[in-house]
Amino acid sequence: MATVNRRRVLLGGLAAAVSGAVTLPSSIPSWASARTTAAAPAIRDPFQLGVASGDPLPDSVVLWTRLAPAPLNPDGFGGMPDATYNVEWELANDQAFGSVVQHGTAAAVRAQAHSVHIEPVGLEPGREYFYRFKTEGFISPVGRTRTAPAAGAAVNQLKYCFASCQHWEEGWYHAHRGIVADNPELVLFMGDYIYEKPSGRGPELKVRGLAVPEDTATLALYRARHGQHKTDADLQAAHAVAPWITVFDDHEVMNNWNATTAPASTARKTAGFQAFYEHMPIRSTAKPSGASIQLYRQLAWGNLARFHMMDTRQYRNAQATGDNCTTMRDPKRTITGSAQEQWLLKAFETHPCTWDFLGQQVFFAQRDGDGKSSTCESPDSWNGYQGSRDRITKGWVDRKVPNPIVLTGDVHRHWAADLRQDYFDHSDPIVGSELVSTSVTSTSAGSAPPTAGWYANNPHVKYCKGERGYVRVTATPQQMKADFVTVSNALERDPAKVVIKTDVSYVVQAGKPGLQKA
């Protein structure tokens, strides 16, 4: 029976990733598999998109799935009839579900593309759980998740991975296999989970096709595009191994969009946000209202780490392209909007955790071609909103945030950089660091890698690597270590022919800003 076989396969992969995992019993305790929605039409196995969890709190974590027997259908309904289905869920202490701690039933409705977001409460802090779903006699794959440690609790270590940019056509998701093998406690995703556009690369740089190979501008097509991504077994495994904390960048809606993009894009924002919510394990507080979504939020990991997950896309007040150096320095320009900026600065006033990670989308550190900022590189980044960057950097310095680290995606290369208030004064003190993860698959647009001369003008930039991969971070009360992981060839399908390795590691000592090569 297909359901059982697939469940065992995913469980096997999960067990391999979990050190000291329990051996599965020969028969998993049966979960009565009768029809759950008598009035609705029968369906085929709807668990084609796997399961996911996310946004862990000390007493809660979001559990996600979406019913979609035919996820590629261009109508966006995933092959589901126009009916409401009851979906049962279970949360257990063990992956054999011998000790179920909570269970319930949720309605999967067509208006939400039959996606299900469960937000159980009253869980124990800082521990692992397993979850699964059932509907119409079909049982989902099993996911592993965890709650955050209690607020202020002493935490000795946190290992998480972060990634971004996974164009479907441009490669295989070996990076997600690497993440699964790392067995992290958390996964962060910094955006470009989907791309609204087909790849512009030549056929030699594409490995697989889109179900609907056209620009995505309608809710139906955003749903189908998200659904296609979620069919990837490596991506499903990465979601099943740990809770994710996700934010979007531009391509979940359209290339380089911002708050000043033409009003016509309101419909696209509305559709893109809705499909994003339906496919991500995020809380109902992030349920969109038309063309508006509350994406920025804070999460904490005991006394060790805080994550300030940011939205640098929705509140920009200026067009990023066609800028000159003067407008980029206009202090009235904002990449965060003033409400988000105030929210962040307020959080900086308290220091409950050793590490403050600013999880966000676009390059933060200045990149400076000629050492005088007269070339004004990369306006679609914090370079184009220097007033914002100045206020936030000064904000954490003035408020004595102990160890700020900016996490970034977007640029399809690994980068590591130290942060200064004044990038053009190379003697200005270092006040933080930035870790930029390369893409899972998306290729670079062909700009040349930095030269020795470029590095000389940018002494705060330590590293750049134009390969696919992700970043693994291990934080302790004493130090933060960032491993920049590379995938030897994302165009090669056979895992046996692909090397996933740590290219370089950098360490920041707590209380001593600045990257040191490990």
Question: Where on the chain is the footprint of Fe ion (CB under 5 A)?
Answer: 165, 192, 442
CA distance 168 to 49: 15
207 membership: H or E segment, kind and range: none
CA distance 358 to 375: 27
483 lies in the binding site for Ca ion (CB under 5 A): no
Cβ closest to Ca ion, residue 136 vs residue 410: 410
Q: Which one of residues 169, 250, 356, 483 is an interface residue with Ca ion (CB under 5 A)?
A: 250
Nearest distance from C-beta of residue 411 to Ca ion, angstroms: 8
Nearest distance from C-beta of residue 195 to Fe ion, angstroms: 7
Cβ closest to Ca ion, residue 252 vs residue 418: 252
Nearest distance from C-beta of residue 208 to Fe ion, angstroms: 17
Using alpha carbons, select from 335, 443, 426, 422 the residue that is nearest to residue 379: 335
Which x/- pattern over 67-96 shows residues binding Ca ion (rule: CB under 5 A)? ------------------------------
Nearest distance from C-beta of residue 167 to Fe ion, angstroms: 7
249 lies in the binding site for Ca ion (CB under 5 A): yes
Q: Which amino acid is at 347?
A: A
Tell me whether residue 172 is exposed, middle or buried, using C-beta atoms within 10 angstroms of its C-beta: 0 to 12, 13 to 18, 19 or more.
Answer: buried
What does 186 interact with, of Ca ion, Fe ion, none (CB < 5 to 8 A by kind)? none
Inter-residue contact 382 to 363 (CB < 8 Å) = yes
Using alpha carbons, select from 445, 312, 425 the residue that is nearest to residue 371: 425
Cβ closest to Ca ion, residue 37 vs residue 439: 439
What does 278 interact with, of Ca ion, Fe ion, none (CB < 5 to 8 A by kind)? none
Q: What is the DSSP letter of 74?
A: T
Nearest distance from C-beta of residue 330 to Ca ion, angstroms: 23
Cβ closest to Fe ion, residue 131 vs residue 470: 470
Cβ closest to Fe ion, residue 45 vs residue 434: 434
End-to-end Cα separation, the chain, in angstroms:
50
CA distances from 410 to 49, 98, 169 (A): 25, 42, 17
Q: Which amino acid is at 323?
A: D
The Cα angle at residue 39 between residues 34 and 41, in degrees rounded to 5: 80
Cβ closest to Ca ion, residue 136 vs residue 249: 249
Nearest distance from C-beta of residue 496 to Fe ion, angstroms: 28
Nearest distance from C-beta of residue 361 to Ca ion, angstroms: 6
Residue count, binding to Ca ion (CB under 5 A):
4
Cβ closest to Ca ion, residue 250 vs residue 418: 250
Cβ closest to Ca ion, residue 323 vs residue 410: 410
CA distance 4 to 25: 14
CA distance 177 to 240: 12
CA distance 280 to 240: 13
Q: Which amino acid is at 192?
A: D
CA distance 518 to 514: 12
What does 91 interact with, of Fe ion, Ca ion, none (CB < 5 to 8 A by kind)? none
What does 250 interact with, of Ca ion, Fe ion, none (CB < 5 to 8 A by kind)? Ca ion
What does 442 interact with, of Fe ion, Ca ion, none (CB < 5 to 8 A by kind)? Fe ion
Tell me whether residue 67 is exposed, middle or buried, using C-beta atoms within 10 angstroms of its C-beta: 0 to 12, 13 to 18, 19 or more.
Answer: buried
Nearest distance from C-beta of residue 141 to Fe ion, angstroms: 28
Cβ closest to Ca ion, residue 147 vs residue 258: 258
106 membership: H or E segment, kind and range: strand 100-108
Nearest distance from C-beta of residue 237 to Fe ion, angstroms: 22
Cβ closest to Fe ion, residue 64 vs residue 193: 193
Nearest distance from C-beta of residue 453 to Ca ion, angstroms: 27
The Cα angle at residue 503 between residues 206 and 414, in degrees rounded to 5: 60
Nearest distance from C-beta of residue 250 to Ca ion, angstroms: 5
CA 281 distance to own-chain centroid: 10
Q: Which stretch binds Ca ion (CB under 5 A): 12-20, 187-195, 312-320, 432-440?
A: 187-195
Inter-residue contact 360 to 190 (CB < 8 Å) = yes
Nearest distance from C-beta of residue 312 to Fe ion, angstroms: 13
Which x/- pattern over 393-412 shows residues binding Ca ion (rule: CB under 5 A)? -----------------x--
Q: How many CB atoms sit inside 10 A of residue 304's CB?
A: 21
What does 434 interact with, of Ca ion, Fe ion, none (CB < 5 to 8 A by kind)? none
Write out the binding residues for Ca ion, residues 406-445 only, by CB under 5 A: 410
252 lies in the binding site for Ca ion (CB under 5 A): no
Q: Which stretch binds Ca ion (CB under 5 A): 208-216, 236-244, 245-253, 394-402?
A: 245-253
Cβ closest to Ca ion, residue 245 vs residue 436: 436
For 254-285, give one letter per residue: b (16+ CB within 10 A) or e. beebbeebeeebeebbbbbbbbbbbbbbbbee
CA distance 87 to 117: 11
DSSP reduced 3-state for 272: helix
Cβ closest to Fe ion, residue 48 vs residue 486: 486
Which residues in this chain contact Ca ion in the complex, by CB under 5 A?
192, 249-250, 410
